[in-house]
Homo-oligomer: A and B are copies of this chain.
Amino acid sequence: MSILKLSLLAVIAPLCWGPFYKTESPEKVPYPEGYRRWTHVRSGLTDADSPDYQLTGGLHHIYANDKAMEGYESGRFPDGSVIVYDLLKVQTKDGVTREGERRYLTVMHKDSKRFADTGGWGFEVFLKNSRTDRTVWPNAKMKCFDCHTNRKDQDFVFGSFRK
Contacts and interface: CB of A to CB of B under 8 A. Distances in A.
A102 to B, nearest CB: 9
Interface stretch (A2-10, A12-20, A47-55): A47-55
Contact of A40 (B49, B61, B69, B90): B61
Interface string A44-85: 111111111100000101010000010000000000000000
A163 interface: yes
Contact of A162 (B37, B42, B92, B99): B99
* 4 residue pairs, one from A and one from B, having the closest CB atoms: A50-B95, A49-B95, A40-B40, A45-B97
Interface of A: 36-37, 39-40, 42-53, 59, 61, 63, 69, 90, 92, 94-99, 162-163
